[in-house]
Amino acid sequence: MTGGASGIGFALSKALVEAGMKVVLADIETHALDFAVKALRELGGVVQGVSCDVADADSVVRASETAFEAFGHVHMICNNAGVGDGGGIDNIFLDSWRWVIDVNLMGVLHGIRAFLPHIRAHGEGGHIVNTASMAGMNSGLGFSAYSASKFAVVNMSEGLAAELKSLGIGVTVICPGFVRTRIMESGRNRPDRYGSARTPDPNSPDGKLLAHLIELNQAGIDPADVAAQTLKAIRENRLYVFTHPGGEWRTEVEERFTAILAAMDKAARRST
Ligand code: NAI
């Protein structure tokens, strides 16, 4: 479980422990990681913690070796670590783009590359869980890098699901709306190589958007709800998990697909 020290990753790890699974928590925030491992062990969980930066492929490979050494065959991987950084497409700093893409997209890819050959080789089947977002379904509230990364994770999950079905390896992609976690404090885990975290002027459009998003995040659902819905989806081998009823997000998805289908119909008419 990447990003297992906080929020959705911690709640999902707890649910997996309660379901009797052995879990490795991999996280960049080591003191939170130690705390999370201790909390799950106190519940009787067989849990191992490993410090890991998912943006670094070698670090994820080292985490996978820890998992193989600790527990032997691994059957489930949860590529959940994620960060957000705001700003419209031409405001967001390039190093912020790189950070968000490296963690949210490359981090998922690194997890798949480190574990999938092992799951394929043991041949006992398994499940890959990727945490995307409702921002991977619509234009994403101005969080351009975040939306781009999450669109890619949805796409990668869809492709993997088709490719791995015949091997008995399931894929689930989680697309939550707002969940009460520390995602709006993502800057706490921003490595120096991406430059410092910057807080927008509170009176600027980006600053106002950020304040609004913090409010929505704090009014979001409990991560334990996301965990319970995800566990059910894994058991039922479902690809998509939408944790929120949809509302205006559903309308945006409908509008997007209606426009895409209309454009395809137009192309079909042109070719006849
Ligand atoms: P969180 O901030 O509470 O937890 C994220 C975890 O990822 C933290 O433990 C953090 O230390 C870890 N992390 C950050 N960078 C890392 C790195 N480079 N390597 C390893 N670990 C790293 O936030 P939350 O909300 O629990 O985030 C989990 C996932 O859920 C993310 O992928 C996020 O994008 C996604 N999500 C969150 C939503 C929300 O409203 N909270 C909504 C939709 C998706």
> pLDDT tens digit string along 217-255?
999 999 999 999 999 999 999 999 999 987 788 998 999
Global pTM value: 0.96
Element (H, E) at 172: strand 169-175
Is residue 138 very low, low, confident or very high in pLDDT (cuts 50, 70, 90)? confident
Give per-residue pLDDT as tens, 204-225: 888 888 898 899 999 999 999 9
Q: Give helix 223-235 / helix 7-18 axis angle, nearest 10°.
A: 50
CA atoms within 13 A on the CB side of 156: 24
CA distances from 202 to 169, 198, 205, 212 (A): 46, 12, 8, 11
Output the ligand 1 site: residues, CB below 6 A.
Answer: 2-3, 5-9, 27-29, 32, 52-55, 80-83, 103, 131, 133, 176, 178-179, 181-183, 186, 189, 217, 220
Give per-residue pLDDT as tens, 10-49: 999 999 999 999 999 999 999 999 999 999 999 999 999 9
Q: Please, what are the domains in the chain?
A: 7-270 (3.40.50.720)
Give per-residue pLDDT as tens, 164-220: 999 999 999 999 999 999 999 999 999 999 998 778 889 988 888 889 889 999 999
pLDDT exceeds cutoff 70 at 272: yes
Is residue 140 very low, low, confident or very high in pLDDT (cuts 50, 70, 90)? low
Q: What is the pLDDT of residue 113?
A: 98
Give per-residue pLDDT as tens, 98-126: 999 999 999 999 999 999 999 999 999 99
- Say how many Å lie between the CA of residue 146 and the centre of ligand 1: 12
